[in-house]
Amino acid sequence: RWQRRRAINVLHYHAALSGTAGVLPLPVLDTLLVGSLQLNLIHDLSRLYGVDFSTQRAKAAIAALLGGMQSGLLVSSMLKYVPVVGYAVVSIPAAAAVGAVTYAIGKVFMYHFELGGTLLDFDADQLRGYFKRQLKR
């Protein structure tokens, strides 16, 4: 029980940081920062659930889970280059989207780890439906 409460705190912390990073007027760098925060989230959850962590496996799991969404997030980051209007129009929705994606990623890994899963047996195809449901919340 304490483990789940701690995991939820870790999840909320990383989702909030990711959303904040989405507001930064730093096209492309914001995307890299969010990726680092998502990796750190999985690292922290792995440690909390006693699961061996591998940066390479975590990156592969995130990429497999997100599928084509990554290009959409990068495009919204690039739109910040449009003077004045680009940043104003894109930043707030992008921040909300990035925070939601990070939250959903965290929920997927919490679910997977609570069922006894590891990064070795992570199956994005099986978990994608759960991921999409978490995004809609």
pLDDT of amino acid 136:
85
**100 and 33 Cβ atoms separated by less than 8 Å:** no
pLDDT of amino acid 109:
98
pLDDT of amino acid 39:
96
Which single residue is written with the structure tokens 């739109």? 79
Put residue 83 in one of left, alpha, beta given phi > 0 → left and psi -120 to 50 → alpha. Answer: beta
pLDDT of amino acid 78:
47
Percent of the chain topping pLDDT 70: 76
DSSP 80: G
The tokens of 126 are what? 């099986």
3-state class (DSSP) for residue 132: helix
Convert the pLDDT of each residue in 67-110 to its tens digit: 756 544 544 554 545 555 555 555 556 677 888 889 999 999 99
Convert the pLDDT of each residue in 31-45 to its tens digit: 788 889 999 999 999
Distances (CA, A) of 123 to 28, 63, 126: 28, 12, 6
Looking at every residue in the chain, the average pLDDT score rounds to 83
Note the Cα 83 to chain centre separation in Å.
Answer: 28
